[in-house]
Amino acid sequence: MLQLLLLFLCAIPFPAWTGAPTSLLGEPNDGSFILSIKGPGGVHDPVTGDGYEVTVVLETQEEGQEEPECAVHSQPIPEGTTPAAAAAAIRAGLQAAGVPAANITVTDATVIVTGDINAGGVGQTSSSTAKASGVAYQGAENLDPKKKAFKKKLEESGAQGGAWVSNAANLRLAVTGFDSASEPAVDSVWIVIPAGLTAAQVDALILTNLNDAGWVATNPALNALDVFAGATVVDLRSSLTLLDGDPGFLAYSGIYPDLN
Amino acid sequence: MFKTLTTAIFLLATLAWASSATLSSTSRHPGTGSDNVVAFDVICHLEIIDAEWSAKITVDRPNLDSIQLTVPFPNGTTEDAMATAVALAINHAADAQIATVEEDVAGPDKVVLSGDASVSASTWLMDEQPGPSDGHIKVIHSNKPTGPLVVPNVLWIEMTLQPFRGADILFTLTLQGKKPSGAPYLKSGSLQVDEDDSLAQAAQKIVNKLNQSGFNASVIPSGVRVDAVPGGPTIENYLVSIDGVLAEDASKPIHYGLKVDHGA
């Protein structure tokens, strides 16, 4: 069900659910995505704890391509799966979802996807002792300036109509990059998502927390969040979203062209 | 106690690495003249434990724009996966295959830059998060990948510290070569630098310690230079590492890094 709904959301034209101008189309990006699976006893531990499901969303846009493509894969991780085996299964699933095999590299329990990544997200269905952790990031400094955007993909299509309400969970948003002195810097905010909030209330809660922490962020449309700077990070290179629990949406981070 | 034990393990591991290196003077690596090998060694583990890290990677290329990357290392990323991720990111940004990964069954895989490209790296821990944070990453620079010897005669090494904060750092230098008599030469020195030290203070402390240990060291801006002693041992291989010393409370952001150059 989750996969079907995410596929439905991915099928919606990109500007329709971000509020971004159409000038975004045709703008390739140069990001990558890295996901690691961690078990309680390490990468070679045969026990990953309780079974759970990892969902990965990747949005790509090659040069000359008018609209971005969205690949979604939900991978059940049965109890006892090693992290390395889970990573291999996610690789196969991403290939089946349309990501070229040449763009996916797996080392130990880490999945690295290269090739014009706009955005990526990862979530898991339960707070197992095993964790999936992923991040989308941009490459070289000499590329054109970009802005970073976080997006939340709602599980329930009813969210647009106000019927959706959140489950309780913790959401972590982080950006890495460089501060005003060009030194490595990171800003991170943990946000407690209470149960029963509407999509608009979740948006407001996240935006308030970011603003209170000194971030420069906007909420251009329902379920969308643009971050221009953290409290110290002024030159963004990577963004990370982590969920502890299942709030009912998949946090989704990435890199978007500066449209200003 | 744990800090002392960890430090001892680092030194033993470093000496073991150096003493196990194979000496040869018949092969030449294309990266001669620059620091072109970097590896990431998670302290006491094979993977990051309960923390998110990032690495700032800078690749300098003669007559080309330098490349600066931030490569995230999510929780659970292994040392070998870090090397893979960094090499892929460099090649993707350079739009060329200038970085390769050399497998090392006895230690972390190494990222080797081709040609005259050189790489410097710093790592840092993302800030406060629930639960304990662990898995400090040692950044290792060397002129020698796992293959045959790179440079038969290193004349000088310059090590530039990158601003560090959040933890004391442990700096270790190991030189390996031959004495004039032909006998093997191996010397290693290590120093813990206080978090509150300025770069200049840290560099001076390192120089003092290295000179006490028999090196020919001097201060350069934000760093340390070590010269071979005329008529002294021939330096064939160096290994420089830097890492944050494990703190009782590791739940604060830390970062540290190093750039290394050498001449032959």
pLDDT of residue B139 exceeding 80? yes
Average pLDDT over residues B96-123: 87
Paired with B56 in beta bridges are B70, B122
| Percentage, residues of chain B above pLDDT 70 | 77
Mark yes or no for CB contact A36/B74 under 8 Å: yes
Between these two residues, B110 and B92, which has the higher pLDDT value?
B110
> Measured between CA atoms, how close is A160 to chain B, in angstroms?
32
Q: What is the number of residues in chain B?
A: 264
Choose among B202, B220, B185: nearest CA to B257.
Answer: B202
Choose among A106, A105, A108, A138: nearest CA to A120.
Answer: A138
Average pLDDT over residues B86-112: 88
Residue A106's pLDDT is: 95
Cα B173–Cα B175–Cα B181 angle in degrees, nearest 5 = 155
pLDDT of residue B150 exceeding 70? no
> Is A234 within 8 Å of chain B by CB?
no
Between these two residues, B130 and B194, which has the higher pLDDT value?
B194
Residue A106 CB partners (closer than 8 Å, separation 6+):
A87, A88, A91, A112
pLDDT of residue B40 exceeding 80? yes
The continuous run of DSSP H or E covering A191 comes out as strand A184-193
Mark yes or no for CB contact A30/B92 under 8 Å: yes
Q: What is the mean pLDDT of chain B?
A: 76
Average pLDDT over residues B79-89: 92
Residue A186's pLDDT is: 83
The values of phi and psi at residue B149, to 5°, are: -55, 145
When CB atoms are compared, the residue of B48, B85, B122 closest to A112 is B85
Which of the residues in chain A have pLDDT under 70?
1-30, 43-49, 126-130, 138-147, 154-162, 255-260
Choose among B85, B138, B145: nearest CA to A107.
Answer: B85
The continuous run of DSSP H or E covering A236 comes out as strand A235-245
Mark yes or no for CB contact A34/B253 under 8 Å: no
Residue A157's pLDDT is: 44
Residue B8: pLDDT band with limits 50, 70, 90: very low
Between these two residues, B60 and A255, which has the higher pLDDT value?
B60
Of A16-30, A136-150, B91-105, B119-133, which range is least confident? Answer: A16-30
Residue A256's pLDDT is: 60
Mark yes or no for CB contact B72/A238 under 8 Å: yes
Between these two residues, B122 and B80, which has the higher pLDDT value?
B80
Residue B75 one-letter amino acid: N
Residue B233 has which token pair?
């041992």
pLDDT of residue B168 exceeding 90? no
pLDDT of residue B264 exceeding 70? yes
- Please tell me what DSSP assigns to residue B93: H
Residue B257: pLDDT band with limits 50, 70, 90: confident
> Is B93 within 8 Å of chain A by CB?
yes
Cβ–Cβ < 8 Å for B220, B160: yes
> Is A81 within 8 Å of chain B by CB?
no
> Measured between CA atoms, how close is B126 to chain A, in angstroms?
6
> Is A103 within 8 Å of chain B by CB?
no
Residue A7's pLDDT is: 39
**E strands along chain B, which residues?**
37-42, 53-61, 64-73, 99-102, 110-113, 118-125, 137-142, 156-165, 169-178, 184-193, 217-220, 223-227, 234-244, 255-263
Mark yes or no for CB contact B78/A105 under 8 Å: no
Residue A5's pLDDT is: 38
Residue B14: pLDDT band with limits 50, 70, 90: very low
Residue A205 has which token pair?
């809660």
pLDDT of residue B28 exceeding 50? no
Residue A52's pLDDT is: 81
Cβ–Cβ < 8 Å for B117, B45: no
Choose among A29, A115, A113, A118: nearest CA to B84.
Answer: A113
> Measured between CA atoms, how close is A7 to chain B, in angstroms?
26
Between these two residues, B98 and A134, which has the higher pLDDT value?
B98
> Is B120 within 8 Å of chain A by CB?
no
> Measured between CA atoms, how close is B73 to chain A, in angstroms?
8
Q: Report the distance separating Cα B176 and Cα B27, nearest Å.
A: 17
- Please tell me what DSSP assigns to residue A63: T
> Measured between CA atoms, how close is B175 to chain A, in angstroms?
30
pLDDT per residue over B236-255, tens digit each?
888 888 887 765 555 566 77
Q: Report the distance separating Cα A198 and Cα B3, nearest Å.
A: 48
Name the 3-class secondary structure at B24. Answer: coil
Q: DSSP for chain A?
A: -HHHHHHHHHHS-HHHHH---GGGTT----EEEEEEEE-TT-TT-S---S-EEEEEEEEE--TT-SS-EEEEEEEEE-TT--HHHHHHHHHHHHHHTT--GGGEEEETTEEEEEEEEEEEEEEESS--SSEEEEEEEE--TTSPPEEEEEEEEES-GGGGGT---PPPEEEEEEEEEE-TTS-EEEEEEEEEE-TT--HHHHHHHHHHHHHHTT-EEE--STTEEEEEE-SS--EEEEEEEEEEE--SEEEEEEEEE---
Residue B58 CB partners (closer than 8 Å, separation 6+):
B66, B67, B68, B69, B119, B120, B121, B259
Write the burial class of residue B180 (CB in 10 Å: 0-12 exposed, 13-18 middle, 19+ buried): exposed
Question: What count of other Cβ atoms lies within 10 Å of the Cβ of residue A62?
Answer: 11
Interface with chain A: mutation pick from B44, B50, B92, highest number of A CBs within 10 Å = B92
> pTM for this structure?
0.75
Q: Report the distance separating Cα B74 and Cα A133, nearest Å.
A: 6
Mark yes or no for CB contact A114/B255 under 8 Å: no
Separation of CA A22 from chain center: 22
Residue B104's pLDDT is: 85
